Amino acid sequence: MDNIFQGITAFQDKVFPGQQAMYQRLVRDGQQPKALIIACADSRVSPEHITQAGPGELFVCRNAGNIVPPFSQATGGVSSAIEYAIVALGVRDVVVCGHSDCGAMKGLMNPEALSAMPNVAAWLRHSHAAERIVCEAYPEGMDPKSRHRALALENVLVQLSNLRTHPSVAAGLAKGQLRLHGWFFEIETGVLLACDGESGRFLPIDEAEAIPVAQASAVRVAAPEYSAARIAAE
Ligand SMILES: [Zn+2]
């Protein structure tokens, strides 16, 4: 803990004095984060560091395996974070961010290693769809590294599907007020991949181009003749 203690004192003595006005403004005006990022709790995957975001810019929810449990009657921390970010803070972009060398994905591939961690094993059930996709839609005999990467990428897409079951997300998408993003951070190279919803592939985020979006913002209702957007336009 010595390094952590030194970090705290350095922040209080050297960093905060220069940023006090910014912190006070964030209290006075309240937070207006640009995005909700659901990332893995892995200590090597810091959303703020990867995006170089400062205080107040990202609403972050982290857990083992960057998992979004499907909406249910059970109270959950991830569900609450999603609801608060969208309904109370008006966040318009939601990101699920997976990463290379993910221990949760290794656990999915080796369930026997989870025998002493019943909570982790139960939590990872929310990723079983990704595991089935890799088992049935990818070639047999893939080397473990490729299999692990495919699993981590598919897991991001599975969690985006789970995200759509949350009422606040479903309503935001129908109103065309929400965009969904699937990211994958390669720890060893620093490359950030983003899912392109058109092709279903993960593409490197290139500075010269816009960030690929998993689900773009567009009004999408089943009965457009009654939609709020149409009535407002008339
Ligand atoms: Zn992880």
Residue 11 reports pLDDT greater than 80: yes
pLDDT higher than threshold 80 for residue 82: yes
Q: Which domain holds residue 92?
A: 28-208+218-233
| This prediction's pTM | 0.94
pLDDT, residue 120, reads 96
Residue ranges of the alpha helices (H) in 36-143? Answer: 47-51, 77-83, 103-109, 118-123, 128-137
Tell me if 119 is assigned to some domain: yes
Cα–Cα dist 123/76, whole Å = 12
In a domain, 23, yes or no: no
Domain count for the chain, please give it: 1
The phi, psi pair for 179, rounded to 5°, reads -120, 140
Q: Does 225 score more than 90 pLDDT?
A: no
What was the pLDDT predicted at 207?
63
Q: What is the mean pLDDT of the chain?
A: 94
Q: Confirm whether 37 is domain-assigned.
A: yes
Residue 29 CB contacts under 8 Å (≥ 6 apart), including other chains: none
Residue 66 belongs to some domain of the structure? yes
- The whole-angstrom separation of Cα 49 and Cα 36 is 15
Ligand 1 center–CA 82 separation, angstroms: 19
Q: How far is the CA of 73 from the centre of ligand 1 (A)?
A: 26
* 12 belongs to a structural domain: no
Q: What's 92's domain CATH number? A: 3.40.1050.10
Residue 92 pLDDT grade (very low, low, confident, very high; cuts 50, 70, 90): very high
Q: How far is the CA of 224 from the centre of ligand 1 (A)?
A: 40
108's tokens: 């999915």
What separation in Å is there between the alpha carbon of 23 and the centre of ligand 1?
30
Of residues 221 and 60, the one with the higher pLDDT is 60
**79 touches 94 (CB < 8 A):** no
Confidence of residue 210 (pLDDT cuts 50, 70, 90): confident
Residue 208's pLDDT band (cuts 50, 70, 90)? low
Distance from the alpha carbon of residue 42 to the mean position of ligand 1, in angstroms:
5
Residues with CB under 5 A from ligand 1 (ion): 40, 42, 102, 104
What strands lie across the sheet with 35-40, from one edge to the other? 58-63, 35-40, 93-99, 179-185, 192-196, 201-204
Of the candidates 141, 140, 143, 114, the residue with the CA atom closest to the CA atom of residue 127:
114
**Residue 20 in domain:** no
- For residue 49, how far is its CA from the centre of ligand 1 (angstroms)? 16
List pLDDT tens digits, range 14-27. Answer: 999 999 999 999 99
Distance 103 CA to ligand 1 centre (A): 5
Going through 83-189 in order, the beta strands assigned E by DSSP cover 93-99, 179-185
Distance between Cα 43 and ligand 1 center (Å): 9
Q: Give a yes or no: residue 5 inside a domain.
A: no
Number of alpha helices (DSSP H) and beta strands (DSSP E) in the chain: 10, 6
- 106 alpha carbon to ligand 1 midpoint, in Å? 9
Q: Is 213 contained in some domain?
A: no
What is the CA(65)–ligand 1 centre distance, in A? Answer: 5
Type of residue at 92: R
Task: For the chain, list the strands marked E by DSSP.
Answer: 35-40, 58-63, 93-99, 179-185, 192-196, 201-204
